[in-house]
Amino acid sequence: MSDCDGSPSTSSSSSRRFSLADIQSATDNFSDDLVIGQGGFGKVYKGSISDGESMTVAVKRLNPRSRQGAREFRTEIEMLSRFRYPYLVSLIGYCEEPDEMILVYEYMPRGNFADHLHRSGKNYSAPLPWLRRLRICIDAARGLDYLHTGTSIQPDRAIHRDVKSSNILLDHNWDAKISDFGLSKLGPEDQAYSHVSTEVKGTFGYLDPEYYLTRRLTRKSEVYAFGVVMLEVLCGRPAVDLSGDEEQWGLAGWAQYCIGEGTVDEIIDPSVKEEIKQDCLMDFVQIAVECLRNIPRKRPTMAEIVPNRMKKLDNRPPKHQTPSTVMLSLAAVLVEGSTLQMS
């Protein structure tokens, strides 16, 4: 498990192997009443395991007949056993039997960020205030920075490959963690420019156009996806929305066009518009636009975004000291720029 003040563990033995009977007992034999989510590879259940004391968990049951699902199952175990950090969801264990592939995670009671931004799902109750949105962005940015940069103790680096608001989960205190590492890849070594050539994976609306065209995957593709999440936060709209006018289908293209035309005021989510100070808005939009630049090299790294840029946005100390103390800077920008006072 992650240790907020110590070093993230890299031991794969820290994930427990469960029997199918354990999981059946934890989920009331996969009761439909306990379903809390549905992903591309199966249902997610709320469950309860006991290891001395009882613990609430999320149980993802993958379709065993899917070859892609089997690959994602192994990648998820490998990555989450290696990368343990307060801003990444923790893997508690797994169950592997001839016809079962099941992952057991820490339970994130407020569900995914997308549902709160786009007013859907059981966890949604009211529009999220601006400062809360900013803090969630910063937590997610910290998680990505750790993944991209590693630490002196945990030097491995990785690319998540499916950054999106529905892969940012929220705990009881609204602290955010990145989830869903089934597509992620280790490496490349160099933070900014190295690439791996790969089959294009990810989710429409978040895909870096350059990666889509060239299949050269760098961390800058992830920075692009993070920029799309920032636009979702600002506009309260999904990355792809086919229900409206054609020019608004893709959020990244539409929002950038409006920003370029100087009509950013018209695209802000009305439920937070009054809460955003002008300085904060300018900083936030500037970071998003830089993340979305066409040329990957011109985009900042996550390490540059978090410490230097978002500092003003949130003055909470990080839960873990990352190699880039830079992170602290990103946080300061936001608090100054927000009118909201939150504990």
The binding site for ligand ATP (CB under 6 A) comprises: 36-41, 44, 58, 60, 89, 105, 107-108, 111-112, 166-167, 169, 179-180
Q: Which of 111, 236 has the CB closer to ligand ATP? A: 111
CA-wise closest residue to 285 among 240, 238, 333, 320: 333
Q: Measured from the CB of residue 261, what is the shortest distance to ligand ATP in angstroms?
A: 33
Residue 162 known to be catalytic: yes
Find the helix or strand (DSSP H, E) in which 231 lies.
Answer: helix 219-235
60 assigned to a ligand binding site: yes
Q: Measured from the CB of residue 36, what is the shortest distance to ligand ATP in angstroms?
A: 5
At 18, list the tokens: 């469960």
The residue to which tokens 């307060």 are assigned: 86
Other C-beta atoms closer than 10 Å to the C-beta of 274 total 9
Query: Measured between alpha carbons, how far is 86 from 94 in angstroms, rounded to an integer?
Result: 20
Given 162, 180, 208, 314, the catalytic residue: 162
Q: Which of 87, 107 has the CB closer to ligand ATP? A: 107
φ and ψ at 239, to 5 degrees?
-60, -30
Alpha-carbon torsion (212, 213, 217, 220), positive or negative: negative
Query: Measured between alpha carbons, how far is 140 from 110 in angstroms, rounded to an integer?
Result: 15
Query: Measured between alpha carbons, how far is 246 from 168 in angstroms, rounded to an integer?
Result: 28
Position with the least CB separation from ligand ATP: 37
Q: Measured from the CB of residue 204, what is the shortest distance to ligand ATP in angstroms?
A: 11
The residue to which tokens 């989960």 are assigned: 169
Q: Which of 47, 227 has the CB closer to ligand ATP? A: 47
Q: Measured from the CB of residue 109, what is the shortest distance to ligand ATP in angstroms?
A: 7
Buried b (16+ CB within 10 A) or exposed e, 139-160: bbbbbbbbbbbbbeebeebbbb
Q: Which of 169, 255 has the CB closer to ligand ATP? A: 169
Residue numbers in the known binding site are 60
Which residues participate in the annotated binding site for ATP?
60
- Which residues are catalytic, by number? 162
